Amino acid sequence: MSELNTFKAVLVKETADQQFTVNVTNRSVSDLPNNDLTVNVHYSSLNYKDALSASGNKRVSSHFPHTPGIDAAGVVVSDKSGTFSAGDEVLVFGYDLGMNTPGGLGQMISIPANWAVKRPDNLSLKEAMIYGTGGLTAALCVQKLEKMGARPEDGPVAVTGSTGGVGSISIALLKQLGYTVVAFSGKPEQTEHLKSIGADEVLHRDVLNEAAELPMGKERWAHGIDTLGGDYLTNLLKQIKSGGGVAACGLASSDSFSSTVFPFIIRGVSLLGVDSVYIPLSDKQHIWQRVASDMKLANLQDLCEEISLEQAPEYLRRFMQSKVVGRYLVNLKS
């Protein structure tokens, strides 16, 4: 496979007045960092972190011009480390990809070889990026609850931020694994969509905060997956049944929360942190194998909207306007 000299990529630039522009442009391979592994990206996906990077959030990306994209699936062009061979199909998510290392919203990436895993059998590059970081985070949340001892017969599982990428895949995964799912959303117009992907009940997210003035709420849900943080996480913990757990993986509402110790010492509730960025490569390989087997969803295509690279800047803006639902697959092959 010959290496491309130029390729298309989303490029975020900072202007003289500290504003940020986002456009698709031609880039040169010489613009990429000098890492061992070079990959021709076929598919990527859009995540909230990509939108933060594209909007100039310097806690995510500190150097501009920059190409976002924390996910990539593609074909190896070359690997100086000898880990992979030209033509191997690989998947990349996490580490510094798309943060300060040019990311998957470009047709070529150059990364350390130990950031990539081989594509599992029974999972295409396209299917892998329908999951992407959002879907794998959902899978890691479910797996964390399982390791804690969660079982479908425990009772309903609450999922916050349910119309987002993590939330929607969480709902579908839980349903496939036999759980009863209660979806929480601030978008009541998406109720039927959420039920179509596996939610048994859909409630407005503000229902969680009805326990705001109480030291503890009524025991309502066996377990939870929280993508919001802030008061929603605080009040979800107050309403988890004895011995239950909440897998926390997001900060769409707030990056902080305040809680008494009551849920932990009265009901034995567990707060389970989930990281999808810096987990060991062996753990990433394991979760990819699960989404290629027992966590492979039959209705994957229904959980995403496929867009072109040229559409990516507009969709990144939609993230910041809370106008997105589900997963967004970016096709970079054309």
What is the DSSP track for 43-111? EEEE-HHHHHHHTT-TTT--SSSB---SEEEEEEEEETTSSS-TT-EEEEESTTBTTTB--TTBSEEEE
Q: How far apart are CA 219 and CA 149, in angstroms?
A: 18
Q: Tell me how far apart the alpha carbons of residues 235 and 257 are, in angstroms, rounded to a whole number.
A: 10
- The letter for the amino acid at 94 is G
Residue pointed to by tokens 């913990």: 237
Cα–Cα nearest to 220, from 187, 268, 273, 182: 182
Distance in angstroms (rounded) separating the CA atoms of residues 122 and 6: 32
pLDDT at residue 299, rounded to an integer: 84
The yes-or-no verdict on residue 114 having pLDDT over 50 is: yes
Mean per-residue pLDDT, 189-200: 96
Instruction: For the chain, give the percent of residues with pLDDT over 90.
Output: 92
pLDDT at residue 11 above 90? yes
Least confident of 58-67, 171-180, 296-305: 296-305
The whole model's pTM is what?
Answer: 0.92
| Residue 54 contacts residue 15 (beta carbons within 8 Å) | no
Residue listed under structure tokens 């697959």: 329
Same topology, domains 6-119+300-331 and 134-273? Answer is: no
Residue 5 confidence (pLDDT) above 90: no
Greater model confidence, 5 or 248: 248
The per-residue pLDDT for 16 is: 86
* Burial track 16-52 (b if 16+ CB lie within 10 A, e otherwise): eeeebebebeebeeebbeebbbbbbbbbbbbbbbbbb
pLDDT at 4: 66
Percent of residues, the chain, with pLDDT higher than 70: 99
Pick left, alpha or beta for residue 94 (phi over 0 → left; psi -120 to 50 → alpha; otherwise beta): left
Distance (Å, rounded) from C-alpha 261 to C-alpha 34? Answer: 49
Mean pLDDT, the chain, as a whole number? 95
Would you say 51 and 320 are in contact if contact means Cβ atoms under 8 Å apart? yes
Q: What is the pLDDT of residue 302?
A: 87
CA angle 181, 185, 188 (to 5 degrees): 110
Span 6-119+300-331 CATH architecture? Alpha-Beta Complex (3.90)
pLDDT of residue 150 exceeding 60, the answer is yes
The DSSP line for 11-58 is EEEE-TTS-EEEEEEEEEGGGS---SEEEEEEEEEE-HHHHHHHTT-T
Give the pLDDT band of residue 3 (cuts 50, 70, 90): low
Domain at 134-273, CATH class? alpha beta
Q: What is the pLDDT of residue 2?
A: 42
Helical H segments across 292-322, by residue range: 312-320
Q: What is the pLDDT of residues 254-309, one digit of tens each?
A: 999 999 999 999 999 999 999 999 899 999 999 999 999 999 998 888 899 999 99
Residue 121's alpha-carbon distances to 83, 133, 289, 292, 293, in angstroms, are: 18, 19, 8, 7, 9
Domain residue ranges of the chain, discontinuous segments joined by +: 6-119+300-331, 134-273
The answer to whether the beta carbons of residues 304 and 328 sit under 8 Å apart is yes
Q: What gap in Å lies between CA 215 and CA 97, rounded to an integer?
A: 42
Residue 1 — very low, low, confident or very high, per pLDDT cuts 50/70/90?
A: very low
